[in-house]
Structure 1
Amino acid sequence: MTSFVALLRAVNVGGTGKLPMADLKAMAEAAGLQRVSTYIASGNLLFHSPLGEADVKALIEARLADHAGRPVGVMVRTAAEMAAVLAANPFAHEAPNRTVAIFLDGPPPADAIAKARLRRDEAIALGRREIYVHYGEGMGQSKLVIPAAAAGTARNMNTVAKLAELAAIP
């Protein structure tokens, strides 16, 4: 049985994709996922499953599409991978609420940083299946566009740390 974290894209952020976390939890339990819980209202699902990553991703995305009537992107990481994302944060010395990991389905393209636009004081680094960004002035002031991140979903490092902690509970 593997412990997973599923990160939903564009759910309960900026008035888009409303999905009560109680509904998400019930949906996951009905799909056969075990020890299901959510963390904050931005689409963070923790669960255990004997299935592999690709299978749980497909299962959750299918349930969400049925519920929402449109595709909802889901990035899935094991508990160990979530801990590794936290440990690999190249901006660990910076404020965690101004640093995000943008989770992707696959490795970011090598030119992801070069193709970023409207960059001011943001620092960008590539991870295994993530793009890390430190927003010096905060996200609210940033106009940064990272085309490689368009299909991903971001979580600040406070959230990443909490999800890693919760996912590690046996």
Structure 2
Amino acid sequence: MRYVALLRGINVNPATAVAMADLRALLERLGYGNARTHLRSGNALFTAGGDADSIAAAIERGLREELGLSVAVMVRTAEQLRRVVERNPLEVRDPARFAVVFLSRPPDREGLASIDPAAYAPEEMRVGERELYVHFPDGLRRPKLPPLLEKHSTGPATMRNWNTVTRLLALAEDLGEISG
């Protein structure tokens, strides 16, 4: 099966620096095939057997044991990523100002529903299955919504802009199947 791993907070400062070649090598040592990366922000694609949660735990353990990094990893199958794109409830006016927040667990729908949209206007948010769709019309320099989302978070999360999400989907769908 084809998977996408989204690492939280990679290469945002020297303490979280990871060469993408090292990440690919780690994935290969874990037994995953066709390992490749996209951008330097911790996006990896590969083929594997097993379930996404077990794979995420194995990658987190490998990063900790081999690279000394404590990094949250969200893993989705190519099909799950396809559903994220197809079920987007908001209009994508500018892909660079539109993002998907990938959650490690289902969202706290009740807590998120309690957030007054006026508190973060003109930003917009909609809740998905295990993701949040967010529009930042004023850009990501000083957004209001992420701190509110963290307050109602049920676990680790990582955000990718729409350009990256759709590119990762295209790459995952082109990835070869498991051989042997």
TM-score (norm 2): 0.86
- Per the TM alignment, residue 16 of structure 1 is displaced from its structure 2 partner at its CA by 5.1
- Per the TM alignment, residue 102 of structure 1 is displaced from its structure 2 partner at its CA by 0.4
Deviations 1:29-56 (A, max 9, x none): 1111101000000000100001221221
Matches within 5 A, 1:11-160: 11-13=10-12, 17-110=16-109, 111-115=111-115, 119-144=120-145, 145=147, 146=149, 147-149=151-153, 151-160=156-165
Asked whether the 8 Å contact 2:102–2:159 carries over to 1, the reply is yes
- Per the TM alignment, residue 93 of structure 1 is displaced from its structure 2 partner at its CA by 3.5
How far apart in 1 are the matches of 2:115 and 2:66? 35
Identify which range, 157-166 or 116-125, moves more after superposition. Answer: 116-125
Gaps of 5+ in 1: none
Asked whether the 8 Å contact 2:16–2:69 carries over to 1, the reply is no
Q: Tell me the percent identity.
A: 36
Change (3 A) 1:121 1:168: same
How far apart in 1 are the matches of 2:44 and 2:22? 11
How far apart in 1 are the matches of 2:156 and 2:11? 16
How far apart in 1 are the matches of 2:51 and 2:124? 34
Asked whether the 8 Å contact 1:91–1:99 carries over to 2, the reply is no
Task: Provide the secondary structure at the position in 1 that maps to 2:112.
Answer: coil
Task: Provide the secondary structure at the position in 2 that maps to 1:168.
Answer: helix
Deviations 1:59-91 (A, max 9, x none): 101001113434210000000111111111222
Over the aligned positions, Cα root-mean-square deviation in angstroms equals 1.9
Q: Name the structure where helix makes up a greater proportion of residues.
A: 2
Asked whether the 8 Å contact 1:10–1:16 carries over to 2, the reply is no
